[in-house]
């Protein structure tokens, strides 16, 4: 049985690997399939697919969308969506704009707190993507404002800390619909990080089809817990490392054991979504 990794970031969000490097690394690790899941971006997919063809690695198109419920961030993964569709791409531009506006306020706040940020230097850490909080945390380490990325988040950037600035809120229900409309399979990312199990029934009602049971932050008990929830709600199980290259210390790709058979279930879910879209378009015509 082959191994896969369905949650990986590239330089098109807050990872440090190019899409080509991701695929090359996957080859070295003997993975049979990977998914590129950048935050609110699909710019790495085509490059990864091309490299995948060369090296014989299956590349699943994916995206990770940031959404909010109250003060909590809920991340929704979308797999196999029609990532070239114009309507979807313009939505992504809008979500990136939200992050850009948040960043302006965040940098102003850091300055007020005595941590001046040179925008040119910061931009060098994210040459191909919108700046994320992870890039800002790395910059803070580089400047000696904090000792570690963890400290940057725990002392300054996390909700409730002095440099936390809210983004305009995006609803997970709206994003689940958007992914379904775009032909994708919506999956709840790293549920243990958001700790909002109470929302799962509502998300399922909105069309959620899967849950990321295997993740680098999940231990055996967490895996058992979410496997049970998956069974209870008829959700498919997915998994991935959430590798950010060198941006979070350890290179996580392939460190989470995810069996290939998960991909077969994901493909069945994709076929269901496409079938529904076909039915609807027949009704309309």
Beta-carbon contacts of 57 under 8 Å, excluding residues fewer than 6 positions away, are: 23, 26, 27, 31, 32, 33, 34, 51
Among 91, 133, 215, 270, binds ligand AMP (CB under 6 A): 133
Q: Does 153 bind ligand AMP (CB under 6 A)?
A: yes
Which residue stretch of 19-27, 42-50, 53-61, 130-138 sits at the interface with ligand AMP (rule: CB under 6 A)?
130-138
CB of 215 closer than 8 Å to CB of 221: no
Stretch that binds ligand AMP, among 87-95, 116-124, 126-134, 209-217 (CB under 6 A): 126-134
Residue number, 244 or 270, with CB nearest to ligand AMP: 244
Looking at the Cβ atoms of 87 and 150, the one nearer to ligand AMP is: 150
43 binds, options Mn ion, ligand AMP, none, Cβ within 5 to 8 A by partner type:
none
Q: Is 14 in the site for Mn ion (CB under 5 A)?
A: yes
In terms of CB distance, is 255 or 272 closer to Mn ion? Answer: 255
99 counts as binding ligand AMP under rule CB under 6 A: yes
State yes or no: residue 132 binds ligand AMP (CB under 6 A). yes
Alpha-carbon distances, residue 53 vs 29, 32, 48 (angstroms): 17, 12, 9
**Which spans in the chain are helix H?**
19-28, 45-55, 86-112, 119-125, 133-142, 149-151, 172-181, 191-194, 200-205, 220-233, 261-284
Shortest distance in whole angstroms from residue 14 CB to Mn ion: 4
- Strand-pairing partners, residue 4, are 33
Distance CA 230, CA 200 (A): 10
- Tokens (6 digits) for 227: 């496997």
* CA 160/CA 154 separation, integer angstroms: 10
Count how many residues are written for the chain: 285
Minimum Å gap between C-beta 148 and ligand AMP is 9
Identify the residue among 10, 18, 25, 66 touching ligand AMP (CB under 6 A).
66
Give me the residues that bind ligand AMP (CB under 6 A), please. 14, 39, 66, 99, 132-134, 149-150, 153, 244, 248
Give me the residues that bind Mn ion (CB under 5 A), please. 14, 64, 75, 189, 242
């Amino acid at each position: 049985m082959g191994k896969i990794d369905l949650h990986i970031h590239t330089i098109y969000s807050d990872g440090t690997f190019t899409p080509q490097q991701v695929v090359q690394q996957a080859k070295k690790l003997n993975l049979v399939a990977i998914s590129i899941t950048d935050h609110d971006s699909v710019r790495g997919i085509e490059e990864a697919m091309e490299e995948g063809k060369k090296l014989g690695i299956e590349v699943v198109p994916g995206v990770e969308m940031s959404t909010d419920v109250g003060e909590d961030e809920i991340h929704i993964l979308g797999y196999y969506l029609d990532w070239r569709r114009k309507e979807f791409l313009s939505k992504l531009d809008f979500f990136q704009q939200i992050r850009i506006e948040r960043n302006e306020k965040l940098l102003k706040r850091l300055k007020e707190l005595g941590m001046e940020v040179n925008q040119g230097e910061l931009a060098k850490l994210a040459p191909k993507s919108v700046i994320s909080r992870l890039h800002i945390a790395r910059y803070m380490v580089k400047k000696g404002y904090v000792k570690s990325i963890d400290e940057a988040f725990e002392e300054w950037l996390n909700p409730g800390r002095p440099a936390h600035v809210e983004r305009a809120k995006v609803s997970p229900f709206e994003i689940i619909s958007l992914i379904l409309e775009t032909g994708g399979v919506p999956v709840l990312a790293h549920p243990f990080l958001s700790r909002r199990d109470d929302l799962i029934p509502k998300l399922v009602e909105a069309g959620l089809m899967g849950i990321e049971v295997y993740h680098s932050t999940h231990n055996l008990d967490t895996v058992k817990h979410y496997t049970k929830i998956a069974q209870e709600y008829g959700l498919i199980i997915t998994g991935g490392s959430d590798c950010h290259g060198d941006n979070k210390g350890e290179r996580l790709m392939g460190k989470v054991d995810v069996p290939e058979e998960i991909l077969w279930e994901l493909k069945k879910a994709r076929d269901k979504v496409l079938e529904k879209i076909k039915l609807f378009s027949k009704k309309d015509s």
